[in-house]
Amino acid sequence: MKAFFNQFANFLFPIRNLLLFVFLTAFCVFFYLMVFTNIELQNTYLMPCFLILLWGLLLFVLCHSFHGDEQSNNSGKGWFSRLKIKLLSLFIWIYSVVFIALIFISIHFTLKVTFL
């Protein structure tokens, strides 16, 4: 699971600035729509803006969380280093499960909103 996210993050890493720009633009538009526009414009543009904000943030965080090379095999080190590596891999596995849950929740929310 970690290897898949690592490959996907390495694939997305060259466009990380675009993801950040999309997120910040969607956030500014979302704030403007919430504060300064009337209800008709909010009904039309607020939900697509929120979905762009959600997916831009999710992909940006995924890109920066899992980017990098796989850890090398550190079998020659002491027991404390092996324990730290096992704990780190456990936390990364939990983080991966949380990201899978967030992706499924985002997909469910997107499908529910778009196909009402």
Confidence band of 74 (pLDDT split at 50, 70, 90): low
CA 73 to chain CA mean position, Å = 28
Q: What percent of the chain has pLDDT over 90?
A: 25
Q: Please name the amino acid found at residue 86.
A: K
Residue 24 has pLDDT above 80, yes or no: yes
The larger pLDDT score, comparing residue 70 to residue 4, is at 4
The larger pLDDT score, comparing residue 84 to residue 1, is at 84
Residue 43 corresponds to which tokens in the numbers above? 């009904």
Residue 25 has pLDDT above 90, yes or no: yes
Q: How many CB atoms lie within 10 A of CB 56?
A: 20
pLDDT at 27: 94
